[in-house]
Chains A and B, each alone.
Chain A
Amino acid sequence: MTNNKTQRKGPVVFSDIESLSGLKKALELGSDKVVDIIKESKFRGRGGAGFPTGLKWGLAAAENEQEKYVVCNADEGEPGTFKDRVLLTEYPKLLFEGMIIAAFAIGAEKGYLYLRAEYKSFLAELENELAQMRKDNLLGNNILGKEGFNFDIEILLGAGAYICGEETALIESMEGNRGEPRNRPPFPVNTGFNGHPTIVNNVETFAAAVHIISKGAEWFKSIGTKDSTGSKLLSISGDCLKPGVYEVPFGTSIKEILKMVEAKDTKAVQVGGASGTCVPKKQFNRLIAYEDLSTGGSVIIFSNKRNMLEVAKNFLEFFEEESCGQCTPCREGLPVLLEAVDALERGQCSKEYLKDVVNLTETMQIAAKCGLGQSCPNAFVSIINNFKEEYSLAKINKKEKR
C-alpha cells in the first residue's frame, strides 16, 4: 500500500547511518554543543517555511522553564506531498531519534507526534515502535544511562484539517481547540503548548537532524548550495513515468528533476503544492533552494495537454474548503478569486477586473494572518502571469465591468 518502487538513496536522509549514532553522539557532546552544530550546519526547517532550526532550538533551550515540549508536525496536507508518509512508514525510528535529540538539546521531557487523520492506519505500527524504544531505554527515564535525561513521546491524531499543519494552529488543535492560527509573536518557542516553550518541527527536519549530529556540520554543508545546505525530499507526482519520493541536494534544477522522473512534454511544474509557485517551461532552469524555489517538497508536473485554469481552480477550491475562516482577507478573498477563475473560463473577465483581483491577491498576501492566507493566491497569480495564452480577456466597457 505504501511501498514505492523508488530506490531509497540520497545524500542526507536516505544516506546510510548507523542506528542511534546521532543520539549517542548528542549525549556525549552535551545539549549546548548539539544546538551549536545544528546552527553551524545552517540547517533550515523542511516543512516549507525554512526557519533556521538551530535558532529555533537555541531559543527554546534558553527558556528558563521546567516544562518544555517537542512536537513533530506529521500533518502533511499540502496537495502533492507524501514524503512524510514514507518517513513515517519506513523510517519511524530515525524520526523518533531526531525528536529525542531535540528534547535533549532544549531540555524537554515530553514530545508529541501530531499525525494527520488520513494516516491513521500507521498509528499501530508507530505505537509499536515507541513501545520497543521504551523497552530499549531510548524513551523513559535516564535515557541510555544519561542521568536526568527523561523523555517520552505520545501520538496525537488530527481530524482532517489542512490548516493544522501551521504550527500555531497545530498547537491550538493539540489543546483541544479549533485549528485557528495564533498571532505571532509570541512564538511557540516561548509560549507554545499549554503556554510552555515548544518547538514544532517537520518530520523530515527531525530525520535530517539525526544525520547532521552523527556526521557533523561540515559534512552537511558540503551538500547543497551556500544558502541552502543539505538536501530536500521531494514528493513528485503528475505527468511523469516515475512519480515518488526522491531526495535531491538543494540547487537541483527543475530540468534535472524532470529528467530524473522521466517527464515528457512538460508545460509547467507546480513547486510547493497549492500554496507554491507554478513554474512555466521557460523557467525550468530554476533551482530547488530557499533562495529560489522554496518548497515543502511538493512537485506536481503538468504536460502540454493540461488546462492551467483548471489547475488554478482546483487549488482555490482546496483553499476555500480549508480556510479556517478566522481572518477576512483569506475567508472573503478566496471566493472572489474563484469567481474570477470562473469568469476567465467563460471569457467574461475584463482586463480591469483582473487587475482588481490581482490587487486583491496582494492584499491577501500582506494582510492575512497566517501562512495559508498569505500564500493561497500564489498559484493563481503565477498561472495568471505565466499562462496568458490559456485565457482570453473580455473586452467590456469599463462601466459595466465583467
Chain B
Amino acid sequence: MGKICAVSKTIVKEGKRITVCDETRARLLPVLHEVQGKKGYISDTDMQNIANELGIHPVEVYSVVTFYSFFNLEKKGRHIIRISNCISNIMAGSKNVQREFEKALGIKSGQTTEDGKFTLEAISCIGMCDQAPAIMVDDKLIGKVTSKKVKKILEELS
C-alpha cells in the first residue's frame, strides 16, 4: 500500500507554516476507500496491514469498516446496483424497479450474481428524489428509471 496524503495538516516549522501529510488515524477512511476502490472489498489482511501502518489495533479498523455501509468485508459484484428506497422513491415505484432488476439478474436484493458481475442492494436516500425512482450504478447516479432503462443499463454493463 503506497502512502497517500488524503488528509493534510498545517504545522509550524522553523517559524514557517507548512502543510504536511497527516500520518495519524485521520487517514483511515481515505486509505479504506483506496483499498475498497482497488479490490472491491477489505480483507482481514488489509485491515491488519492498515492497522500496522497507522499504529492502531486491527479491531479498531474492523469497527470502522463495519460501521460504514460503503465498505465491505467480502467481495461483491464487479458492478454494484443500489436502489434508493426512501419514501419518495417508493412512491415513484422503486419497488417495481427493484423487482425488474431481481428478475433480470435472477437474484434478490442483497445478493450477488453467480458470475460475480452484479450485486443488487436497496439503500437509503441517494439525493435524487426529484428524479425518482433513482439508482446508483457503481458511482453514477441515474434518475427516472423505467423497466426499459433497466434493460439498457444491464446491457451496457454486460
User: Which residues of A pack against B, CB within 8 Å?
Assistant: 1-2, 4, 66-67, 76-82, 84-85, 109-110, 116-121, 150, 152, 154, 156-162, 173-179, 194, 235-239, 243-245, 270, 274, 300, 302, 306, 311, 314-315, 318, 321-322, 324
Residue pair A80, B71 in contact (C-beta under 8 Å): no
Docked pose: A1 CA to B136 CA in angstroms: 11
A117 to B: closest C-beta gap in Å: 5
- Number of residues on chain B facing chain A (CB within 8 A): 47
Q: List 24 A-B contacts (CB under 8 A).
A: A2-B141, A4-B130, A79-B86, A81-B125, A82-B128, A110-B19, A117-B70, A119-B127, A150-B17, A159-B70, A160-B70, A160-B123, A175-B26, A176-B25, A176-B27, A176-B29, A176-B64, A177-B28, A178-B64, A194-B9, A194-B26, A238-B91, A243-B129, A318-B86
Flag if B32 contacts A159 (CB, 8 Å). Answer: yes
Instruction: Verify A160–B33 contact, CB threshold 8 A.
Output: no
In whole angstroms, what is the CA distance A175 to B12 when docked?
Answer: 21
Q: Complex: how many Å from CA A209 to CA B90?
A: 35
0/1 interface trace, chain B 56-84, chain A, CB 8 Å (1 if under): 00000001100111110000000000000
* Given A1-B143, A121-B141, A159-B32: A81 in contact with B70 (beta carbons within 8 A): no
Which 7 pairs, one residue from A and one from B, show the smallest C-beta to C-beta distance? Answer: A176-B28, A159-B68, A237-B129, A160-B70, A160-B69, A79-B86, A176-B25
Say whether chain B's binding surface is mostly helix, strand, loop, or mixed: mixed
Further pairs besides A162-B124, A243-B131: 7, Cβ < 8 Å:
A79-B87, A118-B127, A159-B29, A179-B68, A238-B87, A238-B88, A315-B87
Closest Cβ of chain A: how far from B16's Cβ, in Å?
11
Contacts of B90 in A (CB 8 A): 314
Contact A118 B141, CB 8 Å, known A243-B130, A300-B87, A322-B124? yes
Asked if residues A237 and B26 are in contact (CB atoms below 8 Å), the reply is no
Residue of A nearest to B91 (CB): A238
For A81, A117, A158, which residue has the most chain B Cβ atoms within 10 angstroms?
Answer: A117
How far, in Å, is A158 (CB) from chain B's closest CB? 8
Min C-beta distance of A182 to chain B, whole Å: 15
